[in-house]
Structure 1
Amino acid sequence: MLDRRNDVDRIALIEALNVMDPALGTALDPITELAAFTFGLPIALVSIFDADHQHLISRVGLALTRNERHASICAHALGSSQVLQIEDLRQDPRFAGNALVAGPEQLRFYAGTPLITKGGVALGTLCIMGREPRRLSAEEQVQLQTLSRVVVAQMELKMSLGRRDQVSGLPNRQQFQADLTALSRRGEGRRFTAVLLDVFDLQSANDAGQALGMKPVETLLRQAALRVQDVLRDVTQVYHVGVTRFAFLLADHSHHQTEGLLDRLRVRMRRPLMAGSIPMSPQFHAGVCDFRAVREETADLVRKCLVAMHHALQTDACLCWYSQERDDALRRRYRLASDAGRGLAQHQFSLVYQPRFDLIDGQPVSAEALLRWTHPMLGPISPGEFIPVLERTALMPALSRWVIDHALAQAAHWQKTVPGFSLSINLSPRDFDDQCVWSVLSERLHAYGLAPGLIEIEITEGQWLNHHPAALPQLREMAAAGVRIAIDDFGSGYSNFGYLSEVPISHIKIDQTLVTGLARSRTARLKVEAIIKLARQLGYRTVAEGVENDAELSLLRLWGCDEAQGYQLARPMHPDAVLHLVNACRAGPLPDAG
């Protein structure tokens, strides 16, 4: 009789152990050959059974590699608790018509025993066969069972290679994923909680490795692994899934129980550990995710845990539960990054221009080129959303070159009607990575016949200049050629006048977070007035961003701010509207009809 009661467990374990790997069959061949030799028989087989087939992964004396399960003699031995032997297959009505008995092989004798793992799951069989009737003695049956245990041990040993971390000795990420797959087959949809834990800052571990060598660092990681195991020893299996990361699963734990367990683990983990003679403080950041033991959820579980754990790292929280909303936002950012190249090729990007006004005579003196993206599926996307995403990709320099080309073409067109009206372009730190942004800009200026003094390049303030050594030389070349350099968003972060002496800037743009609501905030007024006063003393022109009402304009004029832009003055607009606005302002008010 075919035993299908353990099919779910068997198939899950087959996947977890990867027993269909041809390398395993090669490793088992010497044992199969020994079985044939020991019993003086021409055929010996190691078989693995899935739901429908018998897979002969190691064999001697038979060319067959796969058989239908219902036609397999070994399938009858799979559920046996002892050696199944048939002295004469022709005399047994179950097998007399079997292709191996009635066909060319003319088999007569069969003896087989199941391959049972430590967990009690029968994966397959070890069998021997001959072409003459025979009966094994009791001692021979014991020998066959002993060989079956050797086969199972070899399977487990072979499959454990590459499935354990060499430093901690714990099961690794591959084994974790394999066990998740197995759990999805036999877990019957039960609810579990997965935890992904980061116990050290990877950069600190790398620094320690460079200073001390890898042995003290490996000792450090082993100590960390032992602490995790010590707390969870009677609770669950621990996996070492990354250099400084561990994972484990909890069954039937409420959120309160999970957080209590993690709190105990955190207290234990935060005690100093020794790397050589240096005490190091472990960190503790956990990503936690509930899931059901079904394939649809286990297949994506590690990624979800990563989403939660990275949020814990970013917010310096001890633990964060997985959030679908946060995940959706992350996937949206990834989609924007992956769709941007296609969007550029398909003309989904465009430019609008926000005029900038001189605060003494009220005339528009320049316009800032602002990038817009209309996604075919997601619709209009805010630059505040897509620019930070694209700045992390290799596409940003190409997108900036597109902006340079289209914006300069527009500036050249304006010069025909409103000469002297200048243009401002934003550049990202990534634009300076390829060390040719100035050559691109210079070439396009020459191609469009534009004087460098008509162009202003805006860069964000901050310490990024220290990490982009190619930026300063190119900025200096731009300034030497006459291009104006402006620091954008000043006052929003780094805001250090000291580093400005290294950058050949001419303008400081005061961030809109300081300007908007200026009339209502004493702190903002003090900051903005101080920035304007100090910038004037240092020889910089100031530009206020985000001006939204007359009260703000009045204060900015009072303090001597040079220029301003914002919705109170003009919204971002299409090029023709800019041209119309500049022409109208330059024409002045209509003469009095009287």
Structure 2
Amino acid sequence: MVRSDIPKSVWHARLGAYLPQRISWRLALGFGLMVVMMVLTLGQATLQGYSQASLNDHFATTDLPRMLRVQSLSLQTEGVGIALTRLVYAPRENRIAEYTDIDARNRRIDGIIELLATELMDTDQETTLKRLQACRAVYAEAFIDTADEIEGNNLPAATALLHDRLNPALKAMLVESNSLLQRERGRIEAQVEQARHHVEQVALWRAIVSGVAIALAIGLSVGTARSVVNPLTQIEEAAQRIARGDYASRVSSTGTQEVDRVGHALNSMTQAVVRHQHELRHLAFHDPLTDLPNRAMLLQPDASGAMVGNSVALMDLARLKTINETLGYATGDTVIKAIALRINDVLQGAAEADLIGPQPVLARISGGTFALVFNAPDRDSVDQLRGRIEVAMAAPAVCNGHSVDLNLAFGLVANNHNAPLQAMDALLRNAEVALHSAKRAALGFAWYSEAQEAARLGHLNLLSDLRLAVATSQLQMWLQPKFSLVTGSAVGAEALVRWQHPTRGFVSPAEFVPFAEQTGYITLVTDWMLDQALHTLAIWQTSHPELSIAVNVSTRDLQDKDFAQRVVKKLTASRVPAHSLRLEITESGLMNDAQHSISLLHALREIGMPLSIDDFGTGYSSLAYLQQMPVSELKIDRSFIDGVDTQPGTQKLVKAMIEMGHGLDMTVTAEGVETEAERATIIRLGCDVIQGYLTGRPLHGVALQAWFDGLPT
């Protein structure tokens, strides 16, 4: 007796266990019984069986792969959108990987579209595909424009293109691809339903011929139908989960070989997608050169506990730019990898010696900069670790036959154990402040302190006020007279910038000029000083046309290809003769880019402007470059003049400078002369012009006018 309390699904499972595992075999068994029982219906039954097999085979080999391709099209389109967002905000060193990903996805999209163009037979589907191709063309054009803006470092424009053109085009592609997918699903479901309905009609017809045959046929037909429909439903649900981004679930075995092959293919595709996503994540959070974590990994909000430490050492390789330019980028990359290997060896030894905690993290931030995050019991341990790293860098790295010194500068941060642990971005920022402090002081390392932070913020505020200071005339031009040692007459003056801040009072040039140089604001100061000097010279032309004013030119100005044209425009507007305005360039500024500096100096000399080398002797001038420069004055730095009367060795050096300047047809000026003994000495050595507190301090306002009025006309 059959138990009625057993669910139908259990009976179906039991029945399936006794049935063959292939759909074709199950159909053959059913039709064999029908042949025995109904010879008259053999032809129709055989035809129906082969028709059903053909339908199933067509579905497995044609319809389902086409539906999966359409579904893959949607996935690739969504992936392109995500990759484009990363590309817009990615640092320059990470863009190659993003471009590679986007190009690969675009090729997959184009390949799928080409296949679908040959497979789709439905008119509505072909129309939808044409719209999809049009959207693809719009997206391709927008992508090219966005890439141009990204490579031009125009992030606002690239972001605008992403939101205004790229994302709408991708959304339109998704709409059309989803439309294709829904129609394919609808068509497949209609075919399955039609086949099922036909099987049930045949089963009913057989029941009329023979009750026993019909009973057997119905049971076998229902079992066969369920063995196809249920697995297909499972596959469809799995495909929908994949479309929603759920890659954890898998299509289970159905007991039907043909359907199981489709499920296995879908599982393989899911595993490939997951593997590709893992690769993308690895590329996003690791440095491709050293395979170390990158800055993004360190700053991940969900970073693992290994990323947490109470100490950070930020290390920067000196002269990496020179190594790349001189020996090539391949050598630079080899040096960076060698540094990473040596630091990892040091970390392993330090952890074994309990100098630092377990699982320190070494990351490459950018270029030759590395960040080391670790736990240390105290500052002494951090300092010992730094010493070990310096010892590891003592031996040069041999790259392609070249020996390269490995000099690292350190910025160190150690959290107080009694203080709350700082966030990783705060630790990195503080370490960077300390690193910059070490570089500015030409030290091997520096510890972070609150004073550095206050000074940094103070300089930022000061620089933000500098532009306003230029616009509102808070700056002042002071002039220090220069006198001929032959005639005793004034020959001109050097212009010195001063800043009278409305709230801070007097701000020393040594406090704001170096930072203005770094940020580029110094060009504003130079232009303001040129305007003031030309305005003063225009007044002097009527009574003292022989006087000149020298204005200091920064390294930033020398790097500006339009600087000479700007000076010419200012001269023309002021109607001051070019020989009355003198430009002073520091020796170190000239040698920063000697070839470009020489071209700029020749352009200025051609308009009749005299040029001077300031602070001579403190830089590293090449005599080969010096003789190419159209310079008319050599100014010996005050460090050589201070106490020159009591230093025979310095006298020989100064005399050699004077003779070299005269040999190159230059006037030689001594800066910083403060005593009569110093003046007598430089006169004896043959110097031409004197400048210093002995003959005149910097003057401004009433004092300057009084000096000017006292000059003989």
1:313-462 correspondence runs (5 A): 319-462=445-588
The CA distance in 2 between the partners of 1:200 and 1:388, in whole Å, is: 20
- Aligned partner of 1:223 in structure 2 is 341
1:239 matched to 2:362? The reply is: yes
1:289 to 388, 413, 432: 413
Q: Which moved more, 1:342-351 or 1:277-286?
A: 277-286
Query: TM-score normalised to the size of structure 1?
Result: 0.63
**Shift, 1:413, TM fit:** 0.9
Residue 615 of structure 2 aligns with an amino acid whose one-letter code is: D
For the 8 Å contact 1:508–1:535, the answer to whether it is kept is yes
Matched, 1:193 2:311: yes
Q: Is the 8 A contact 1:208 1:217 kept in 2?
A: no
In structure 1, distance between residues paired with 2:601 and 2:465: 31
Q: Is the 8 A contact 1:181 1:295 kept in 2?
A: no
For the residue of structure 1 that corresponds to 2:478, the secondary structure is: strand
Please say if 1:258 is aligned against 2:347. no
Q: Determine which structure has the larger strand proportion and give its number.
A: 1
Query: Using the alignment, how far apart are the partners of 1:162 and 1:261 within structure 2?
Result: 29
Q: 2:320 aligns with which of 192, 197, 202?
A: 202
The residue that corresponds to 1:493 in the other structure is 619
2:687 to 561, 564, 584: 561
* Distance 1:575-1:414 versus aligned 2 partners, 3 A rule: farther
Aligned residues: 434
Q: Which residue of 2 aligns with 1:534?
A: 660
Tell me how far apart the structure 2 counterparts of residues 517 and 180 of structure 1 sit (CA, whole Å): 64
- Match of 1:417, SS state, is coil
Secondary structure of 2:710's counterpart equals helix
**2:295 paired with 1:173:** yes
Counterpart code for 2:296? Q
Question: What is the CA deviation profile of residues 400-429 of structure 1, one whole-angstrom value per residue up to 9, with x for unaligned ones?
Answer: 222112210111112233332222222223
Amino acid at match of 1:512: R
Between the aligned partners of 2:292 and 2:534, the Cα distance in structure 1 is 60
Measure, in 2, the Cα distance between the counterparts of 1:155 and 1:446: 64
Given the two structures, how large is their TM-score scaled by the length of structure 2?
0.53
In the superposition, relative to structure 1, how do residues 198 and 411 fare at CA in structure 2: closer, same or farther (>3 Å)?
closer
Report the Cα distance in structure 1 between the residues aligned to 2:301 and 2:350, rounded to whole angstroms: 18
In structure 2, relative to structure 1, the CA distance for the partners of 1:167 and 1:478 (3 Å cut) is closer
How much does 1:314 deviate? 6.2
Partner of 1:581: 707
SS in 2 for 1:586: coil
* SS of corresponding position for 1:418: coil
Taking structure 1 as reference, are residues 580 and 221 closer, same or farther at Cα in structure 2, changes over 3 Å only? closer
1:33-75 residue CA offsets vs partner (Å, 9 max, x unmatched): xxxxxxxxxxxxxxxxxxxxxxxxxxxxxxxxxxxxxxxxxxx
* 452-461 or 496-505: bigger deviation: 496-505
2: CA distance, partners of 1:444 / 1:404: 8
Separation of aligned partners in 2, 1:199 and 1:422: 45
Change (3 A) 1:492 1:238: same
The answer as to whether partners of 1:195 and 1:288 remain within 8 angstroms in 2 is yes
Cα shift at 1:552: 1.4
Q: Distance in 1 between matches of 2:684 and 2:537?
A: 32
Shift of the alpha carbon at 1:447? 2.5
Does structure 2 retain, via aligned residues, the 8 Å contact 1:512–1:546? yes
CA contact (8 A) 1:396 1:430 kept: yes
2:609 aligned partner, one-letter code? V
Q: Can you list the C-alpha shifts for 1:199-229, whole angstroms capped at 9, x where unaligned? A: 6863377469946489867864663464255
- Note if contact 1:418-1:583 (Cα within 8 Å) is conserved in structure 2: no
1:43 counterpart residue number:
none
CA distance in 1, matches of 2:369, 2:600: 42
Shifted more, 578-587 versus 419-428: the winner is 578-587
Change (3 A) 1:299 1:484: same
- Structure 1 or 2, whichever has the larger Rg, is 2
Q: Deviations over 1:92-126 (max 9, x none)?
A: xxxxxxxxxxxxxxxxxxxxxxxxxxxxxxxxxxx
Match for residue 504 of structure 1?
630
| Paired residue type of 2:707 | L
CA 1:446 to 1:291, structure 2 compared with 1: closer, same or farther past 3 Å? same
Structure 2 unaligned segments of length 5 or more: list them.
1-81, 83-274, 353-357
Deviation string 1:293-336 (CA, Å, 9 cap, x unpaired) is 63667552212212333455567765432244445444444444
Deviation at 1:375, TM superposition (A): 2.6
Where 1:196 maps in the other structure, the secondary structure is strand
- Mapped partners of 2:398, 2:684: distance in 1: 61
User: How much does 1:546 deviate?
Assistant: 1.0
CA distance in 1, matches of 2:295, 2:551: 47
Greater shift, 503-512 or 275-284, is seen at 275-284
Q: Secondary structure at the match of 1:203?
A: helix
- Please tell me the root mean square deviation across aligned C-alpha atoms, in Å: 4.0
SS at structure 2 position matched to 1:494: coil
Shift of 1:493: 2.2
In structure 2, what is the Cα distance between the partners aligned to 1:394 and 1:380?
Answer: 22
Change (3 A) 1:320 1:551: same
Q: What secondary structure is seen at the aligned counterpart in 1 of 2:515?
A: helix
1:6-53 per-position Cα deviation (integer Å, ceiling 9, x unaligned)? xxxxxxxxxxxxxxxxx9xxxxxxxxxxxxxxxxxxxxxxxxxxxxxx
* C-alpha distance 445-180 of structure 1, shift in aligned 2 (>3 A): same
Letter in 2 for 1:237: P
Answer yes or no: is the 8 Å Cα contact 2:636–2:670 preserved in 1: yes
What SS is found at the alignment partner of 2:377? coil
Q: Which amino acid aligns with 1:430?
A: R
Q: Distance in 2 between matches of 1:368 and 1:253?
A: 56
Cα distance between partner residues in 2 of 1:330 and 1:557: 45
- Distance of aligned partners of 1:372 and 1:297 in 2 relative to their CA distance in 1, 3 Å threshold: farther
Take 2:496 and 2:442, find their aligned partners in 1: how far apart are those partners?
Answer: 35
- Judging changes above 3 Å, is the alpha-carbon distance between structure 1 residues 465 and 265 closer, same or farther for their aligned structure 2 residues? closer
Hey, what's the Cα distance between the residues in 2 that align with 1:514 and 1:214?
39
The answer (yes or no) to whether the contact 2:362–2:373 under 8 Å persists in 1 is: no
- AA at the equivalent of 1:511: D
In 2: Cα distance, 1:215 partner to 1:564 partner: 52
Amino acid at match of 1:340: L
8 Å contact from structure 2 (residues 323, 331) kept in 1: no
Higher helix share: 2
The equivalent residue for 2:234 is none
* Aligned-pair CA distance for 1:550: 1.4
What is the 5 A alignment of 1:296-311? 299-311=425-437
* Uncovered stretches (5+) of structure 1, i.e. residues with no partner: 1-22, 24-152, 588-594
Helix, strand or coil for the counterpart of 2:568?
helix
